[in-house]
Structure 1
Amino acid sequence: MLAGEPYDCTDSGLLARWHEAKRLQSLYNAAPTTDLPRLSELLDLLLGSRGENVWIAAPFFVDYGENIHLGRNVEINMNCVFLDCNRITIGDYSGIGPGVHIYTVFHPTEPAERLSENSPLWRSQTAPVVIGRNVWIGGRSVILPGVTIGDGTTVGAGSVVTRSLPEGVVAAGNPCRILRKL
């Protein structure tokens, strides 16, 4: 899965990890926002790694959680969905707006290639997503598999980022395009 090769979503080991992530995300999403020690404990169990001063507003949704790596001073607003079937890395001082979706998983475009005789789950592949340092992703944006967003870049709200963006730009739209250099 992490190598980007086709994989079986119904593998018993993967399903066990997926179910554990769902249990932890439910506990996190139900925890009182004032219980900072409990929230911190749950994030330590759910995420692959995180720096100091990370804030994730509930609700927050993941596939595995363990493939998410956050730098320090990262803020993630509510209703974000991180499909972390591969690594999602977010650099220091970055902000993720409400309702942002980050996808590392994709499926073949040919129907016969994505379907399985023995499972309702489609065949899948993955590619990592890397978000640099001091990046702002506006609310309701979607980041697709394999995308890298360079340091200091701002992505406007509602954008669909289909290709990597260099450092130090403002970009927006569907598909997301560079509007200007900073």
Structure 2
Amino acid sequence: MNKTARERMLANEPYIAIDPELESMHKKAQNLLHAFNVSLPDESEKRREIVQNLFGSVGQVFEVKPPFRCDYGCHIYAKENLYINYDCIILDCNKVYIGNNVLLAPKVQIYTAYHPLDAETRRSGLEMAAPIAIGDDVWIGGGAIICPGITIGNNTIIGAGSVVTKHIPANVVAAGNPCRIIRNL
């Protein structure tokens, strides 16, 4: 059986993003994001409903500050007590798992999407996406970038401005470009 573009995307296989199903999902998410990002500060219940409709799942206790951006939203799975500060971006072309008690500082960028290394293949429009998993009790500092396919262990702190290109284990402070372990917790 031939896989759909979405099935290929979620399997970290090459896919074409201009597929009708993906374009429809993207448009739906962008409409929800527009409503979220122009909502008034006192419209907290409206914001909650939008995030609940946008994300694949989210715990009962969460706060997402606008502006927020993502591709589809439905591939973001967050547990309890999530805090996403201003100007965060989650490119959820593959699944993004976020544990309990996770704090994302302003301008954190989480990217599942990537492109082929070969220029000719890139010109063909093929893309890929690898899942990201963020454990419980993780704090990601401002402006950090989480690259495709990364896992961050429980109770870990990622320093501001870090570029996470490799898996980071549990119970550490890691920072830098590329991100590396600074000390154990």
- Residue 33 of structure 1: CA displacement? 2.3
Q: Could you tell me which residue of structure 2 aligns to residue 155 of structure 1?
A: 158
Q: Which runs of 5+ in 2 are unaligned?
A: 1-8
**Which one of 17, 32, 52 corresponds to residue 44 of structure 1?**
52
Q: TM-score, normalised by structure 2?
A: 0.94
Secondary structure at 1:48 match in 2: coil
Deviation string 1:63-113 (CA, Å, 9 cap, x unpaired) is 000000111111000100100000011111010010010000110111111
Q: Could you tell me which residue of structure 2 aligns to residue 133 of structure 1?
A: 136
Q: Could you tell me which residue of structure 2 aligns to residue 119 of structure 1?
A: none
1:11-90 alignment runs, 5 A limit: 11-90=19-98
Runs (4+) of structure 1 exceeding 2 A deviation are none
For the residues of structure 1 that align with 2:48 and 2:144, how far apart are their CA atoms?
26
**Residues 160 and 174, structure 1, Cα contact 8 Å, conserved in 2:** yes
- Residue 52 of structure 1: CA displacement? 1.5
RMSD: 0.7
How many pairs are equivalent?
A: 177
**Residues 33 and 39, structure 1, Cα contact 8 Å, conserved in 2:** no
* Amino acid aligned to 1:160: V
For the residues of structure 2 that align with 1:148 and 1:133, how far apart are their CA atoms?
12
Identical counterparts, % of pairs: 44
Secondary structure at 1:164 match in 2: coil
Secondary structure at 1:130 match in 2: strand
For the residues of structure 2 that align with 1:141 and 1:7, how far apart are their CA atoms?
27
Q: Which runs of 5+ in 1 are unaligned?
A: 117-121
**Residues 50 and 70, structure 1, Cα contact 8 Å, conserved in 2:** yes
**Which one of 95, 103, 108 corresponds to residue 95 of structure 1?**
103
Deviation string 1:30-78 (CA, Å, 9 cap, x unpaired) is 1112212211111111111000211000000000000001111110001
